[in-house]
Structure 1
């Protein structure tokens, strides 16, 4: 029988160490840092410049993942739904919660199952015995909401395929190895090899180019286990790298057209305007509208004025004029137009970001303005 990869929890007090060795706080809730062992040879971590994720078995882009609860009251279940949904803001996935009698890809228990908080890795929960529990969150009765949020986001991160950040070969943690081995031997009965694999450096997680100590997928590391006395605090929010990584691996469909009357500053970055080939992206930030080449990370075109970055706006007016506005400072400063395409004579025109990075204003099938050439000569 194929062994299922699970993530075992460490006791609750591990989360409540502080960077400056303040007194630990006790908790009756089963929350903490989880560890796992890559046993199945089909779980291949991917080389990537940020968070770590397996290549198989990963969910399909755009997939609706069916989830059910095996126990727990309505309050706990609604809390999980609300917090776990954070991942779907950045990943092109949908969570659908079904009744306990229906089939589900992910099967969550609060009090049932092996002690602690753990999750099967990635889409493995949809293979094999689909009646078995695939995630445990613990009772979630702690008064520490940050701890509950951390547990839910962390375990759902595993369910989406993300692995632990602290075991990256490029991690910069100065482990005091004798203390680490003794600590986990006393705490969990782990051997040296298990500590190496679960905590220090997983042999499967290789060729990373960036380490993210702010990741929701990072262990808490107490200062007492490092040679330089520097701890890594537990996180209760997704880091920027968590967000950009999950969006990279579960991207939303490429959209290259801006419709007439649409506000560009209201378009979420997860669904940003990109060229059909994905090489160029349109960005609006701090009062500046830019086109970036994602291959070499360079800005090829930019308009606006960063001095007017308070409450900035950018939109394609219904008359065809592309316009940028902003305030110089505070809420009392008057709004100023910092740039416009001067194309108000083309009502209903759309913008299209081409494969060569040229942003074109299209009216009745004709280019009336472009970022590379401006307005055509008449």
Structure 2
């Protein structure tokens, strides 16, 4: 797991984060709370879930997207949603929970694991580009292809700079890792959807949000 170092986007340990639901069914809210609370045993933060618009974090139930501001970036706006979650039926409860934990990982300050400073993913960039409808040559790009290329590099290909990052060992099991298809890589490398917090996820966040030492 990793996070940006400068500036740090971690919350102050010991803080209670007020998390507001802007909309959503009771079932959506209950499933979100249940999944998000998987982080709590490992961090010195509290979550207070409330109704309405007044919150450090503001969750919008919205079809078609999972997204979150990273860490304290949520404080940069007081009006817009800071997290969007795609409601799913109980038949897809584990998939929904995994995505909620992923977005709450962002909310806690973590970035995508596939861009970890030491990620050793053996990309087949030609195949990866082709599956997303672009070529190896940026000079072939029109506007939409250029947008696609930038997004692929931001989300997958461009590793973070070690000196600008706080990180633990690269973790293929991290909840923050995207799915990586076998066809996108060289050799025998793929990542399936991680459904639970990994041990390294827990350890990283425990270090980011420590409890005071007993003798303090």
- After TM superposition, the score normalised by the length of structure 1 is 0.50
| Unaligned stretches of 5+ residues in structure 1 | 1-50, 257-275, 277-378
Q: Aligned to 2:151, which of 194, 197, 221?
A: 194
Match of 2:23 in 1: 71
SS at match of 2:188: coil
Aligned residue number for residue 106 of structure 1 = 57
1:93-242 → structure 2 map (5 Å cutoff): 93-101=45-53, 103-111=54-62, 115-127=64-76, 129-141=77-89, 143-185=91-133, 189=145, 190-204=147-161, 210-242=169-201
**Residues 163/216 of structure 1: CA separation in 2 closer, same or farther (3 Å cut):** same
Query: In structure 2, what is the equivalent of residue 42 of structure 1?
Result: none
Q: Where in structure 2 are the equivalents of 1:222-371 lying within 5 Å?
A: 222-256=181-215
Q: CA deviation at 1:203?
A: 4.2
Q: Does 1:61 align with 2:20?
A: no
Greater helix fraction, Structure 1 or Structure 2: 2
Is the 1:167–1:205 Cα contact (8 Å) retained in structure 2?
Answer: no
> Residues 178-228 of structure 1, C-alpha deviation per residue, up to 9 Å, x if partnerless?
111222346x95443432222012445656562100100001101111111
CA change 1:170–1:201 in 2 (3 A) is: same
1:91 equivalenced with 2:40 (yes/no): no
Deviations 1:66-105 (A, max 9, x none): 011111111110111111011111000000112204x201
> 1: distance between equivalents of 2:32 and 2:168?
32
| 1:169 CA displacement | 3.2
CA distance in 1, matches of 2:90, 2:78: 30
SS in 2 for 1:136: strand
Give TM-score scaled by structure 2 length: 0.85
> What RMSD, in angstroms, separates the aligned Cα atoms of the two structures?
2.1
Equivalent-residue separation in structure 1 for 2:197 and 2:162 (angstroms): 21
- Are the counterparts in 1 of residues 117 and 161 from structure 2 also a CA contact under 8 Å? no
SS in 2 for 1:58: coil
Q: Distance in 1 between matches of 2:149 and 2:99?
A: 26
Q: Which runs of 5+ in 2 are unaligned?
A: 135-143
Measured in 1, the distance between the counterparts of 2:161 and 2:60 equals 28
CA–CA distance in 2 between the matches of 1:162 and 1:153? Answer: 11
Greater strand content: 1
Paired residues in the alignment total: 202
Aligned in 2, Cα 1:209/1:125: closer, same or farther, shift over 3 Å? closer
Partner deviation per Cα, 1:6-29 (whole Å, 9 max, x = no partner): xxxxxxxxxxxxxxxxxxxxxxxx
Distance in 2 (CA, whole Å) between partners of 1:231 and 1:254 is: 40
